[in-house]
Amino acid sequence: QIHLVQSGAVLKRPGASVNVSCKASGFTFTAYFIHWIRQAPGQGPEWMGRIRPNDGATIYAQKFKGRVTMTRDTSTSTAYMEVSGLTSDDTAVYYCARSGVHNWFDPWGQGTLVTVSS
Amino acid sequence: EVVLTQSPGTLSLSPGERVTLSCRASQSINSRYLAWYQQKPGQVPRLLIYGAASRATGIPDRFSGSGSGAEFTLTINRLEPEDFAVYYCQQYSNSPWTFGQGTKVEIK
């Protein structure tokens, strides 16, 4: 079975950074893209960017450029996303999701709640 | 950036009814690169439809998608109790990939 398993919920102070992991299983990690998508409370999903695990190539939404870094470890089939300079507006559930060459998302990880509060 | 506008915001319906959800794009979407997702409270979004009209694996045939250009529709025939949820459309024609704000289908 195809699974994406994410790291657990975190509480961060404003200005801090957060790192979320996404471990893939059940498929060839390097044959797909891994995307990061966030969903603020009561809002629709928002695409943040993607990484191609095969070579580490990334694309970021303009809104997140300079503040988000996506990496991967092919030896453990794990993708990572770091968000720096956190503000309360970054409070959201962060998801990783898989896509092929066409960028629909299936499946999704279980989500990681990131709460930013002083 | 392609803006997706979903309507209506909320629908109140009874089990067994037929429902049609709309997703309008701010510009034409190439090659019908549109997907639909279902999200229940506290759950992860689930892919229903891709390519505007192709059902994802395991999705019942009461769900169907249609449309092209900038106008797309998700239809659910004979609502089942488990279909009450929020539905999102998503375009993957132009980066950044964007989602609509969602339509909530609630029990009347």
pLDDT in tens, A52-85: 999 999 999 999 999 999 999 999 999 999 999 9
Among residues A12, A17, A11, which one has the least CA distance to residue A83?
Answer: A17
Copy the structure tokens of residue A87.
């503000």
Q: Which residues of B touch A45 (CB under 8 A)?
A: 37, 45, 88, 90, 99
Closest by Cβ to B88, choosing from A45, A99, A111: A45
A5 pLDDT band, cuts 50/70/90, is: very high
pLDDT of residue B32: 86
d(CA B51, CA A59): 22
Q: Do B35 and A62 touch (CB under 8 A)?
A: no
Write the burial class of residue B107 (CB in 10 Å: 0-12 exposed, 13-18 middle, 19+ buried): exposed
CB contact under 8 A, B90 and A104: yes
Residue B31's pLDDT is what? Answer: 79
Phi, psi of A100, rounded to the nearest 5 degrees: -95, -150
Residue A6 phi, psi dihedral angles, 5° rounding: -100, 165
Tell me the Cα Rg of chain B.
13
Give the DSSP letter of residue B81: G
CB–CB of B47 and A105 under 8 A? yes
* A-B Cβ pairs (cutoff 8 Å, strict): 53
**Residue entry with tokens 């060459």:** A101
Residue position matching structure tokens 């988000």:
A68
For residue B97, name the pLDDT band (cuts at 50, 70, 90): very high
Q: What is the dihedral of CA A49, A53, A54, A57, to 10 degrees?
A: 30
Residue B11 carries which DSSP code?
Answer: E
Please give the Cα distance from A53 to A65 (Å, whole number).
19
What are B98's two structure tokens? 């964007």
Task: Tell me the one-letter amino acid at A114.
Answer: V
Alpha-carbon distances, residue B66 vs A62, A101, B74, B78 (angstroms): 30, 22, 7, 17
- Identify whether B8 is preceded by a cis peptide bond (ω within 30 of 0): yes
Q: What is the pLDDT of residues B23-74, one digit of tens each?
A: 999 999 987 899 999 999 999 999 999 999 999 999 999 999 999 999 999 9
Q: Do A103 and B45 touch (CB under 8 A)?
A: no
